[in-house]
């Protein structure tokens, strides 16, 4: 059992302190990270909460999963390990961006 939890189906108005207050009822909270849109800064509806112990994390899952919070039922479960994703914009196998292929001369 991991201590890092995925918390989904959050209202977009939820902040870090809201989750800190909620999860601290079930054990010691090490960190809270609400995921935000990079362009607008608006919350994306999910967060990660790291609990101090595995027992605290399990208690939080048991007590909070599918429970109402801000008019929505929370999804709370163990966070999956982050997978490596290719970086950059668009891209293709040829090393260029976008996906149009190599540049060609016009035909006329």
In a domain, 101, yes or no: no
Average pLDDT, the chain: 87
Q: What is the pLDDT of residue 90?
A: 58
In a domain, 91, yes or no: no
Which two tokens mark 26? 């079930």
User: What is the tally of structural domains in the chain?
Assistant: 1
The domain of 41 spans 4-78
Whether 27 has a pLDDT exceeding 60, the answer reads: yes
The residue whose two tokens read 């607008």 is: 40
In a domain, 98, yes or no: no
Residue 84: CB atoms within 10 Å: 5
CB burial string 36-66: b at 16+ within 10 A, e below: eeeeeeebeeebebbbeeeebbbbbbeebee
In a domain, 86, yes or no: no
Cβ atoms of residues 75 and 9 within 8 Å: yes
Closest CA to 23 of 66, 68, 71, 56: 56
In a domain, 9, yes or no: yes
In a domain, 12, yes or no: yes
| CATH code of 21's domain | 3.30.70.330
Mean pLDDT, rounded, for 25-33? 96
Whether 94 has a pLDDT exceeding 60, the answer reads: no
In a domain, 89, yes or no: no
Give this prediction's pTM: 0.74
In a domain, 100, yes or no: no
The residue whose two tokens read 């060609």 is: 104
């Amino acid at each position: 059992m991991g201590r890092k939890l995925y918390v989904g189906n959050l209202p977009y108005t939820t902040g870090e302190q809201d989750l800190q207050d909620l999860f601290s009822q079930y054990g010691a909270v090490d960190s809270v990270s609400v995921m935000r849109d990079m362009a607008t800064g608006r919350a994306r509806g999910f967060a990660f909460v790291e609990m101090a112990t595995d027992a605290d994390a399990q208690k939080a899952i048991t007590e909070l999963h599918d429970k109402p919070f801000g008019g929505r039922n929370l999804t709370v479960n163990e966070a999956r390990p982050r997978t490596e994703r290719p970086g950059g914009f668009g891209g293709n196998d040829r090393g260029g961006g976008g996906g149009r292929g190599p540049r060609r001369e016009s035909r006329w």
